[in-house]
Amino acid sequence: MSGGDRVTLTIDGEQATVPAGLNVIEAARRIGREVPHYCYHPRLKVAGNCRVCLVEIEGRPKLEIGCNTRVAEGMVVHTANDRVRAARSGVMEFLLINHPLDCTICDQAGECKLQDYAVHHGPGITRFEFEKAHKPKRVSWGDKIVFDSERCILCTRCIRFLDEIAGTDEVSIDLRGEKSTLIVKGDGKLTSPYQMNIIDLCPVGALTSRDFRFKTRVWFMQFTNTICTSCARGCNVVAGSRSDRLLRMVPRMNPEVNDHWMCDHGRLHYAFVNDEARLATPRVGGRPVIYATAVDRAAALLDEARGAGILAVASPFMTNEELFAMKGILDRLEIETRYVLSPQGEGDDLLQHPEKSPNVRGAELAGFAPAPEDWPSDRPWGALFWIVPREGGELPEALLAAAERRILFSLKQRAADVCFPLSTWIEKDGTVVSAGPRLQRLQRGIAVVPGLLTERVVLDHLHTALDPVYRGPETAAQALARIAEREPAFRGVSWTEVGSGGLVLRPAEVPA
Amino acid sequence: MIQETRIMLEHAGDPAQKTLAGYRGHGGYEALEKALRTMTPDEVNVEVETSGLRGRGGAGFPTGRKWRFVPQTDKPVYLAVNADESEPGTCKDRQIMERDPHQLLEGALLACYAIGARTAYIYVRGEYPHSIQALEAAIAEAREARLIGRNILGSGFDCDIWVHSGAGAYICGEETALLTSLEGNRGYPRIRPPFPAVEGLWGCPTIVNNVETISCVTHIIRRGGTWFASLGCEGSTGTRLFCLSGHIRNPGVYELECGKFTLRELLMELGGGTKSGRPIRGVMPGGSSMPVLRADELDIRFDIDSVSKAGSSLGSGAIMVFDDSVRVVDLALNIAEFYAHETCGQCTPCREGCDWVRRMLKKFAEGRAAPDDIELLKDVTSKMDGTTICALAEALVWPVQSYLKKFRADFEAAIVREAAKA
């Protein structure tokens, strides 16, 4: 028995007690049954046009669509009896009669709902003897998306996303009947900074990404659950890679952060990861050296410069574990001038945060002050110890010139006494404090540069070089455990508890 | 001999009936005055319930009961009059709109009064410019006479009526597509629930009624629900406009009391039999979307329930007759071409299925069908039946299935036999 805000119904002979207000698709999902669907999406208004989710509700003469049927007390639902299966197979046949058989060259193959459902729910043969419908192909929807109307099943997810979520209402349907085709209003080019989400929403291969198309078959890729580091939102993503090259990022559903979406900027902002011109080995005086040589040299220079003063500038792209490793060195050397650069930009009401880096909050928790507007350039520092942000943070030329010694971590080679190569977020494990404040986990997916050591490892070596009794943690998880022991804001957190979805930190102890 | 009972078309022959003066000369707007002065909205609704009036658009739903579906609400309530008369063979509503438009306006005002609406829209198909002109002229006159607008007849009742032109899509006669189109969007039918009476135009409660239905309301209030119920027969009260066309000697629109005659009597006595003198082969009794009746099935009483019992429907009142010169495969193809052209394309089975059926029927019409094609056609049409958002798929499927069942020999004759090929 159930009451109030829950109802009990029977789905395929199994009793299920679910929240009132759910539709049949969601109710079935709660008990592990999939009612196949194309047009339905939990975050979009119900369209009811694909007809794949037809189910039988006892007492109702016609089959009903699961997406638009709310559960009711005592309802008896059949999602897979003969009648439902026959109807579903019929709908699949209709969807396939005019669909091109071009899976072999279609980017969606391997993650295509039309393929999946054709196998599981389709008739398995074709009875359609006529020439398939011809519609526009390779239609440019701007610089990000290519549209193939023959593959389109007109589920209208893209239309609804742009209207209901992105708010730009840019796509519509032109013509009628079996000639129906999607069009972009106006000049035919999409403008939404969130437009690429419609590629993910498209259940078939009608919308493909210019950036990703034809790069690989998806089944050759490896997938890593990590987060986007282009702004402080920290959208949860799945990074797809092959042969240690990052090829694509797609959003990973997290209702507390980014829901099902991410912005195009974050999605496309990864070319620097695969850049052949990245600094690959440490340099001393511009010459490539092994890590041990560079670490020893950096330690010696820092030790020498202590008297004349050292300016330490962290990067907001560093993980908490890296920031606290750097803090350990600065504490050891008793350096108090610690700053972090924080690139800023435009934000919006959906996901984009004005802080264009993932971890300014973590840097501040580790004791790095926001960089001043005007650096005191009159002071000739004994050394500059700077983790150069991968983008969006520069120090004044005068300040750089006035520093007697420069120990840097940088994506590209820079004039420095010691320059270590920077690792990118997809090459390391670690945590960041996103807006929220929310502790989220980066996960190592690939190793673009052979032999590259992450900043945390290099900084710990440097620490050991300055203090022979120091031993750094072996892993990011252990590093986080150490932080959790000492820092109130992180009290009680652990690597496994953060998980792939993150957790909320106590706001009182974290800078907003 | 069948006699016409002219109520809605009583003054259709009088050119002055189009004018307000002419209409008032025949008792026009007395029903409105009576309702506004002496009846509550509920009493108007009760009168319509008493009359037994059923919708004249095709589905035949009891009008008074439909009006009761409007919920108690703070939102505005709308009346949408469906004048998108586009079912092939149907030409009755235009007789009302072009010859006696005020009875429609009066009925619309009465309906608005009953359901609590302050705005009515008349959605007229774009191919009816004369209807639109006649309605606009009538509305202008009525507005001038303060029969439309604020404080009608000093009763405190405000109501406005607007004419909206469609743009040539059959689907916009489907009530929810009509509402979507009226809102300025693509004419796509909507999924139900919610039903229009609860969430219609702009998300507000909306009653959608056919032109003829609303015109009946005028006469029901003028002369009483009991009077209306005394006409016709049980289940099909009042009079009804029938549009007789096809191979018939006397085509036209006839206003008749249902239940007083059989279909054959109607065709032979009023229709005068076929124009060619050849035997009738079949009849579409309610528009092209309804299952066909064969010549041996015409001795049924012609009312909603009897025709329904015979496996077809009175539909929109369009009776189309064909004689034995017609090849049914050609007829089926012609119908399929219409629906394949008019499917809106929103939902899968109809978008894909209508054209597939059309192409299969083309094979039959061209005499190049394969032996399996009859079963295939049956199976494909069965997969379109009951699986779509609106009834357009069924408007193709039902007649085609009925032709396959009732004129199977025509289809078999169109099959190329292997032996014949060799």
- Cβ-defined contact of A176 to B389 (cutoff 8 Å): no
What pLDDT is recorded for position B1? 84
Q: What is the pLDDT of residues A90-116, one digit of tens each?
A: 999 999 999 999 999 999 999 999 999
Chain A, residues 119-158, CB within 8 A of chain B, namely 127-128, 130, 133, 153-154
Q: Is the pLDDT of residue A2 over 60?
A: no
A95–B352: do the CB atoms touch at under 8 Å? yes
Contact B349 A91 (CB under 8 A): yes
Asked if B134 contacts B102 with a C-beta cutoff of 8 angstroms, the reply is: no
pLDDT digits over B190-200, tens only? 999 999 999 99
Whether the CB of B393 is below 8 Å from some CB of chain A: the reply is no
The CA-based angle B399-B400-B406, given to 5 degrees, is: 85
What pLDDT score was predicted for residue A378? 66
E strand spans, A378-490: 383-387, 405-410, 418-421, 430-434, 438-442
Given A127, A172, A173, which is nearest B376 (Cβ)?
A127
Tracing tokens 């279609």 back to the chain, one arrives at A106
Dihedrals φ, ψ of B366, to 5°? -95, 5
**Rounded to whole angstroms, how far apart are CA atoms A135 and A141?**
15
CB < 8 Å to B349, chain A: 51, 90-91, 94
β-pair partners for A409:
A387, A420
Judged against a pLDDT cut of 70, whether residue B112 lies above it is answered with yes
Q: Is A49 on the interface with B (CB under 8 A)?
A: yes
**Pairing label, strands B280-284, B293-294:** antiparallel
For the record, the structure tokens of A466 come out as 């300055």
Whether residue B263 has pLDDT greater than 90: yes
Q: Which of A5-9, A298-302, A392-396, B306-310 has the lowest mean pLDDT?
A: A392-396
pLDDT band at A398 (very low <50, low <70, confident <90, very high): confident
Residue B128 in this model has a pLDDT that exceeds 80: yes
- Look at the block and give the residue holding tokens 């007390």: A73
What residue in A sits closest to B342 (Cα-Cα)? A177
In angstroms, the CA A206 to CA A199 distance is: 8
Whether B419 shows a pLDDT value over 70: the answer reads no
- Residue-level pLDDT at B39: 97
B191: chain A residues, CB-CB within 8 Å:
46-48, 65, 68
Exposed, middle or buried by CB within 10 Å (0-12, 13-18, 19+), for B243? buried
From the list A86, A172, A177, the residue facing B340 with the nearest CB is A177
pLDDT at A1: 47
Distance CA B28, CA B153 (A): 13
A247-277 per-position pLDDT tens digit: 999 999 999 999 999 999 999 999 999 999 9
**pLDDT value for A425:** 97
pLDDT band for position B422 (cuts 50, 70, 90): very low
Model pTM? 0.95
Q: Is B199 on the interface with A (CB under 8 A)?
A: no
d(CA B201, CA B77): 9
The mean of the pLDDT values for chain A is 95
Which DSSP letter does residue B266 get?
I
| A72 inside 8 A of chain B by CB | no
Query: Residue A377's pLDDT is what?
Result: 65
Q: Provide the mean pLDDT of chain B.
A: 96
Residues of A whose CB is below 8 A from B356: 94, 97, 128, 130
Q: Among A49-58, A108-117, A396-405, A406-415, whose mean pLDDT is lowest?
A: A396-405
Residue A230 has pLDDT above 70, yes or no: yes
Q: What percent of chain B has pLDDT over 90?
A: 97
- In a mutational test of the A interface, the residue from B180, B343, B352, B355 whose CB has the highest number of chain A CBs within 10 Å is B352
Interface contact flag, A130 B354, Cβ < 8 Å: no
Judge residue B19's burial from the number of C-beta atoms within 10 Å of its C-beta, 0-12 exposed, 13-18 middle, 19 or more buried. middle
Using alpha carbons, select from A355, A327, A350, A309 the residue that is nearest to residue A487: A327
CB of B184 less than 8 A from some CB of A? no
Band (pLDDT 50/70/90 cuts) for residue A510 is: low
CA distance A88 to chain B (A): 9
Confidence (pLDDT) at B418: 58
Chain-chain contact of B351 with A173 (C-beta, under 8 angstroms): no
Determine the Cα–Cα distance for residues B181 and B319; give it in Å rounded to an integer: 28
Q: Within an 8 Å CB–CB cutoff, is residue B103 touching chain A?
A: no
pLDDT class of B420 with cuts at 50, 70, 90: low
CA distance B271 to chain A (A): 37
Q: Which residues lie across from A76 on neighbouring strands? A: A10
For the residues of B3-16, what is the DSSP string, one character each? ----STTTTTT-GG
- Nearest residue of B to residue A62, measured between CA atoms: B386
Residue of chain A with shortest Cα separation from B363: A130
Which residue among B186, B354, B376 places its CB closest to the CB of A173? B186
Contact: B387, A63; criterion CB under 8 Å: yes
Interface of B with A in 317-346 (CB under 8 A): 340-346
Q: Closest partner residue to A49 among B342, B346, B359, by Cβ? A: B346
Q: Which residue of B343, B347, B359 is in closest CB contact with A51?
A: B347
Query: pLDDT per residue over B137-160, tens digit each?
Result: 999 999 999 999 999 999 999 999
A-chain residues near B342 (CB < 8 A): 176-177
Residues from chain A contacting residue B397 (CB–CB below 8 Å): none
In DSSP notation, B315-342 reads TTSEEEEEETT--HHHHHHHHHHHHHHH
pLDDT in tens, A155-205: 999 999 999 999 999 999 999 999 999 999 999 999 999 999 999 999 999
Spatial separation of the C-alpha atoms in residues A318 and A357, rounded to whole Å: 9
Nearest-angstrom CA–CA distance, B15 and B6: 16
Q: Which long-range contacts (CB under 8 A, 24 or more apart) does B175-178 make?
A: B175/B57, B175/B80, B175/B82, B175/B208, B176/B200, B176/B390, B177/B344, B177/B390, B178/B80, B178/B82, B178/B84, B178/B123, B178/B208
Of A62, A93, A154, nearest to B386 by CB-CB distance is A62
Residues of B in contact with A153 (CB under 8 A): 348
Q: Is the pLDDT of residue B65 over 90?
A: yes
Which chain B residues are closer than 8 Å to A173 by Cβ?
Answer: 186, 345
Q: Is the pLDDT of residue A509 over 90?
A: no
Query: What was the pLDDT predicted at A375?
Result: 81
